Amino acid sequence: MRNNLFKNREDACNQLSNILPLNQMQQESWIVIATSSGGVPIAFNLANKLNAKFDFIFTQKIDASKNDECEIAIITETQEIIIHEELMKVFNIKLDNIYNEAKIKYNTDIKKYIKEYRDNKEIINMRNKNVLLVDEGLNTGLTMMACIKSAISCGAKSVAVAVPVLPKVTIADIESIADDLYYVKAPAHFVAIDFYYDELELIELERIKNIIKRDE
């Protein structure tokens, strides 16, 4: 029998809030960044709880040429790339091909999103700031790893990750480069993010645009 962890994103945010040391965090200045469109409502609510600035980081995935459901790599708007090396070997994909595809994704997709949804403005300044990266859940952790790398390259003072659910096997990877990791549940036999929610409404990028403008 299926026993979902969360009714919706609001419920997930409430449960995640109980895990986060909000009282302690409120004593410092934070920037909260959503790492996917689905993570926007949760990240925005947490930003309000922390009286923090909110933003969204644009990313694009690079798929295996023979399987468009399989992420080989992720590129972020700061042009940081994380590659799943084991899958790269399995699909016999050359490193140069991944970098070339990442460059195309950045120039065609990410630049378009930045122009359309942030009026060509760069992502919020993270230098010497405490950054909290938030998503509705992680499947492989590849996108979050790339976003952590972006925050570090942007000079963040500290980088914490908060997600309602993630695969147990990804914990070590996230903890190896993030200062803190907060989560509600980490199943050993992970299915998919939507499996753990009763309801996951589609978050349009237009909603992200409105939230970003509201928070300026």
Q: What are the structural domain ranges in the chain?
A: 9-57+123-215, 60-118
Contact 144, 59 (CB under 8 A): no
Beta-carbon contacts of 197 under 8 Å, excluding residues fewer than 6 positions away, are: 4, 5, 6, 7, 8, 9, 12, 136
For the CA atoms of 17, 160, 88, 79, what is the dihedral angle to 10 degrees? 120
What pLDDT does residue 214 have?
A: 60
What pLDDT does residue 1 have?
A: 36
What pLDDT does residue 150 have?
A: 98
9-57+123-215: in CATH 3.40.50.2020? yes
Q: How far apart are the first and last CA of the chain?
A: 45
What pLDDT does residue 46 have?
A: 97
What pLDDT does residue 167 have?
A: 97
- pLDDT under 70: residue ranges of the chain: 1-3, 65-69, 212-216
**Phi, psi angle pair for 16, to nearest 5°:** -70, -35
